[in-house]
Amino acid sequence: MGSTQTRRTKVAVIGSGNIGTDLMIKILRLSDSLDITAMAGIDASSDGLARARRLKVATTHAGVEGLLALDEFADVEIVFDATSAGAHRRHEEALRPLGRTLIDLTPAALGPYVVPPVNGTDQLGAPNVNMVTCGGQATIPIVAAVSSVTPVHYGEIVASLSSRSAGPGTRANIDEFTETTSSAVEQVGGAALGKAIIVLNPAEPPLMMRDTVHCLVSDCATESVAAAVEEMVARVQSYVPGYRLKQQVQFDRVAQDDPLCSLLADSEKGKGALKLSVFLEVEGAAHYLPAFAGNLDIMTSAALRTAERMAAHRIAERSRR
């Protein structure tokens, strides 16, 4: 893993649970531009902190206050928050005045949403960016692909996760998950109206993450829409190899008296409408958790891609000064 840069950007992770630990391992294994120097948690016996210590990453179980007290924190430029929406608000209050950039993996959404293949270069200088949710990272690129071809009057996403891949943070933030994802379907995906549903599937053996995207659109060239979706899937696969279409994009004509037509813009009513459905599967890279935990993999992969872009932007900005 030879670095092409003389200096890596120092980063830290808050949260020693599933997401934070997977992110730490991804940085160590995959990144040529980031150097993880610290992990903070609140459970001294957590597996994440134990692994961090074995990997020579500085640790603290005193939360954000402990992170600030570490000698290694002085050089940290970017902090990933993999805790909870409520905790992130406290972390921002502590870190923003110190000039650190925050990448928020909770549904707190204090900063602008970032979905790498859609708007990944739009917020490189923002002090706090939000990675939406795992369901948002998997489905919003599809909504954006459709809206690049034809207006999306209504976008609905259903994220089905293995119950075993949903830790206490995810379970505590179900309401925030749906609210944040619905908002990002509109703001980033481009849908006039968005809705998000999460399903925790208790099946054994655990199932891979499955995501369904439904869009209501006016009559349009279906070949162009399908091509845009397939191109977007390839873009996501560049950083999440286990992301894939389960079948071809499905199109169904909507009758004019169907209640769905009430969601069309007034100017589009009576012109014909289509409901399109996209079925996705996300297999995780199994860096820390089993492959069925694709929901965690796509979230941490998106955060890693975002941080690397931010690091490259910082280096370019410094070189111009």
Q: Is 201 annotated as a binding residue?
A: no
190 close to 152: Cβ distance less than 8 angstroms: yes
Structure tokens at 169: 């943070």
Q: Is 31 annotated as a binding residue?
A: no
Q: Is 171 annotated as a binding residue?
A: yes
Q: Is 168 annotated as a binding residue?
A: yes
Burial 192-210 (b: 16+ CB within 10 A, else e): eebbbebeebeeeebbbbb
Q: Is 165 annotated as a binding residue?
A: yes
Provide DSSP, 264-291: S-GGGTTS-EEEEEEEEEE----SSS-T
Structure tokens at 139: 């489905």
Q: Is 295 annotated as a binding residue?
A: yes
Active-site annotation holder among 134, 215, 220, 261? 134
Please report how the helices 134-147 and 174-187 are oriented relative to each other, as an axis angle in degrees rounded to 10: 20
Distance CA 308, CA 294 (A): 21
Q: Is 189 annotated as a binding residue?
A: no
Q: Is 164 annotated as a binding residue?
A: no
What three-state secondary structure class fits 294? helix
Distance CA 180, CA 125 (A): 22
Burial class (CB in 10 A: 0-12, 13-18, 19+), 172: middle
Structure tokens at 40: 């903070």
191 close to 152: Cβ distance less than 8 angstroms: yes
Active site residue 134: yes
Q: Is 111 annotated as a binding residue?
A: no
Q: Is 17 annotated as a binding residue?
A: yes
Q: Is 112 annotated as a binding residue?
A: no
Distances (CA, A) of 209 to 22, 129, 293: 16, 24, 7
- Active-site residue numbers? 134
Residues annotated in a binding site for NAD(+): 16-19, 165-173, 295
Residues annotated in a binding site: 16-19, 165-173, 295
